[in-house]
Structures are given as C-alpha cells and as structure tokens.
Amino acid sequence: MIFSQTYPIITYALMLTILTIISFFVVLSRKRKEKKVLLILPTSLEQEIRLSITDGISRSVEIFSNAEKVPLRMYKSCIFVLDPKENLDKQIESFKKIREQAEDSIAILISESLDGVSSLKKRLPWLKAFKPSEIEKVREVIHSQLR
C-alpha cells in the first residue's frame, strides 16, 4: 500500500513560489496605500512642537528624534526639524539622504539668530527658517505638510 502526494515536489515548490509572490504583492500594495509621513524632531523641541501636532490627521505619522534611526521605507512626505544646537552640516547631509525616501520634503530651522540662513538656503532650497517666537507658524507648516 502506498500513500503518496498527487504531484511531484517541484510542482509544490512552484506553487509555493507563486503563492509567496501573490502574498508579497498584496502586502506591498496595502502598505503603499497607507504611506506614512516622517517627522524628525530634535528632543530639545519635542515638548513645544509634538503636543497635539497629529490631532485631526488621518495619515499616520512616524516621529523620530534621531535621523540615523529612520528605517529604509518610502514616505508620503518628510519634515525634518533641524536642531540649532547640533552640527548643522551633519544634519543637512542626513536630510539630503532621507529626502530621497519621500515624495516631498521640507526642512525647518528654529533659531534665535537667522543671520546665516540665506547661505543655508542656497545649500538647502527646501529650508524654512523661523524664530522661537514663531512656534505657532512652525506648527501650522508641519500641520499642512501632514495633511
């Protein structure tokens, strides 16, 4: 008496490959539809900006304080809030890398002295600079980008 499978092993391997391809594309298309927004927010500005910033936003938002920890994933848009207390050159390089992962991106600088901003804007045309007193404007810009 012989108990055997209907088809050769190769057929099953092919069937599993096709089913894995289908599943993988189903997952990818589902993830593509719900593209997230990336918000990089330095810890020093977190309390002022983060509070209720995502209220009324249906799109999901991923918030990171360290640009190095952002996973390799495509985003709808990227908002990079620069930390004036840290090395700006390094942050600009991080922003240039990360903006490739998003359809549209902006960088925001909040600083008391906006003297060197024009030279910074030459290097980074997507930069928007604000004074700490203009925090409501910053929140508005972030909110419109999140929508």
Partner 1 sequence: MKKAQAKLFKLYAKIFLYFLLITILFSFSTIALHELGHFVFGLYYGCKPVRIVLFDTSIMTTYTEMECPPNVNMFLLGISGFFVVLPLSLLYFLISRGGERYLALIMIGFNFVIAVNDFDVYLKLPFSEIFAIFGSLLIVVGEILLIEKTIF
By C-beta, is 12 or 123 nearer to partner 1? 12
Asked if 8 interacts with partner 1 (CB under 8 A), we say yes
Q: Of 37-45, 60-68, 69-77, 111-119, which part binds partner 1 (CB under 8 A)? A: 69-77
By C-beta, is 13 or 114 nearer to partner 1? 13
37 neighbors 77 (Cβ within 8 angstroms): yes
Nearest approach, Cβ of residue 10 and partner 1 (Å): 6
Q: Which own/partner pairs from 46-53 qualify as long-range (CB within 8 Å, at least 24 positions apart)? A: 48/135, 49/81, 49/135, 49/138, 49/139, 49/142, 53/139, 53/142, 53/143, 53/146
Nearest approach, Cβ of residue 113 and partner 1 (Å): 33
DSSP lists the bridge partners of residue 108 as 81, 128
Q: Of 61-69, 70-78, 86-94, 127-135, which part binds partner 1 (CB under 8 A)? A: 70-78
Token pair 């992962």 is at which residue? Answer: 101
Helical H runs in 34-60? 43-50
Helix or strand or coil: residue 93?
A: helix
Asked if 20 interacts with partner 1 (CB under 8 A), we say yes
- The binding site for partner 1 (CB under 8 A) comprises 1-10, 12-13, 15-17, 19-24, 26-28, 30-31, 72-74, 100-101
